[in-house]
Structures are given as C-alpha cells and as structure tokens.
Structure 1
C-alpha cells in the first residue's frame, strides 16, 4: 500500500533529523536541529527581535518564540526587553552559544555537503522539490486544497 504524503514527510524528517542530531552528538554538542535557523541568524547578526528572527530564519513567529524559549533555557541565548516601550524581546547569543559556533558551523558544512550528495543521487533534487512545493503551497494552501476537494467528494454512508 502506498503511504500518504504526511506519512512520507514524517518519515523523511525522522531520517534527516535523526542523522543531523547524531552528528551533533558525535561532535560533542548538546544541541537540537530545530535551533539551527535561529542560531544561523544570530551567527550573522549581533542581535534580533523575535519578529526579525522569524522573518530572517524563514519560520513562523510562534516557532521562533518557542525555539528562543528552549534555547534560553539551555543557556544558548540571552533575551532582554527592547524597543521604545520595552515590549519587544531582543535576542542574542550567550557566551555558551558563541562558544559552540565553530563546531556547529563545521557540522552545518558537513550536513550541506551530505545534502548536496543526496540531491545528486536523486532524479529530481529534493531541495528543489521542497522549494517548489513550498512556493506552490504559499500561493494556495493545502487547507484550501482540502476544502475544495471536500466539496467535490460526496460523503460516504
């Protein structure tokens, strides 16, 4: 039986994230793959607000907020009030986070080379397929597509 799209995507994420997580363990890092978008932004900028992190990392604001909270709890980030009224939260790397950067960057380079190798073995590069799927879904969401199909399918008794 052919697996559904959601099942295939979850399995793919398990295969990729599990290997990436293991690469951090092998490098002696206590670090989660989900931290990488935030860490990459802060490796290039001294600080950023949660909104800026979300935009620059290409993640949602709730995801940025949750990730920052986890990273702060693990001592990787420092968070301070900012903005004119103090309601914005300004995020920067802690000394511990900064100290991890060289080993993280080595892991990221190895991961990039492995991803490029995977793309080279596929008939259609996974990175291109994912970028195309994201662009198409940003134009018309999967929820809209499901609702449209639900209207066309009569309910089964």
Structure 2
C-alpha cells in the first residue's frame, strides 16, 4: 500500500530530525533541533520579540512562543520587558546560548553540506521541491484544496477509491 503524503512527510522529518539530533549528541551538545530557527533568528545578537523571531525564523508565533519557553528552561535565551511596551518581552541569547553558538554553527554547516548531498542524490532537489510546495500552498492552502476535492466528490455522489492519505 502506498503511503499518503502526511505519512511520508512525518517519516521524512523523523529521518532528518533524528539524524540531526544524533549529530548534536555526537558533538557533545545538549540541544534540540527545534531550537535552531530561534537560535538563528537571535544569532546576530539583536533582541527580538517573539513575533519578530517567528517572522525571521519562518515559523508560527505559537511555535516560537513554545520554543522560546523551552529554551528559557534550558538557559539558552533570556527575556526582558520591552521598553516601549512592558507587556512584550524581548528575547536574546543567554550567556550559555552565546557560548554554544559557534559549536552550533559548525553543526549547522555540516547539516547544510549533508542537505546539499541529499539534494544532489535526488532527481529534483528536495529543498527546491519543498520551497515550491510552500509557495503553492501559500497560493492555495491545503484546506482549500481538500474542500474543493470534497465538493467534487459530493457533486458526483461517487466516493473515490480510498487509499491512505495522511
């Protein structure tokens, strides 16, 4: 049975994130791959709000909020109230985060090289295919595509041959 898109994507993420997590362990770094977008957004040393981190990292604000909270517990980031709005917090790398950054950057460089190697082994580079898929979903979200497909099925009153799709 052919695996559905969701199952394939989850498996791909497991394979990639698992290998990246193992690489951090091999480098002697106690660090989770999910922290990387936030670390990169803060690497310049500039304090940012969670919203600014989310935008810079290309993740949702709830994901940024959750990740920053986890990173606070591990003393990778620090927060201070924003001068212009005390309700907002500015996030910066903590001393530990700044000290860890050069070693992380080495790991990121190795990961980027491995990703380039994977792209070279494929008929269509995965990184380009993913970028194109994201652009296509920006133009027409997957939910809208599901609704259109569902409407087509309802119009014909003939359900499709069901195969695994998630």
Q: TM-score scaled by structure 1?
A: 0.96
- Gapped regions of structure 2 (runs ≥ 5): 160-166
Correspondences of 1:39-78 after superposition (within 5 Å) = 39-78=39-78
1:127 aligns to what? 127
- Partner SS state of residue 43, structure 2: helix
Point out which structure has higher relative CO (alpha carbons under 8 A, 6+ apart). Answer: 2
Kindly indicate whether residue 157 of structure 2 is the aligned counterpart of residue 152 of structure 1.
no
Aligned-residue CA RMSD in angstroms?
Answer: 1.0
1:152 Cα offset (Å): 1.2
Q: Which has the larger radius of gyration?
A: 2
Count of aligned pairs: 156
Correspondences of 1:74-93 after superposition (within 5 Å) = 74-93=74-93
1:83 Cα offset (Å): 4.1
- Partner SS state of residue 48, structure 1: coil
- Give me the whole-angstrom Cα distance separating, in 1, the residues matched to 2:50 and 2:143: 27
- Give me the whole-angstrom Cα distance separating, in 2, the residues matched to 1:15 and 1:88: 37
- Gapped regions of structure 1 (runs ≥ 5): none
1:45 Cα offset (Å): 3.4
**1:80-124: per-residue Cα shift (whole Å, max 9, x none)?**
111423011100001111111111000000000000000001000
The question of whether the paired residues in 1 share the 8 Å contact of 2:45 and 2:93 is answered with no
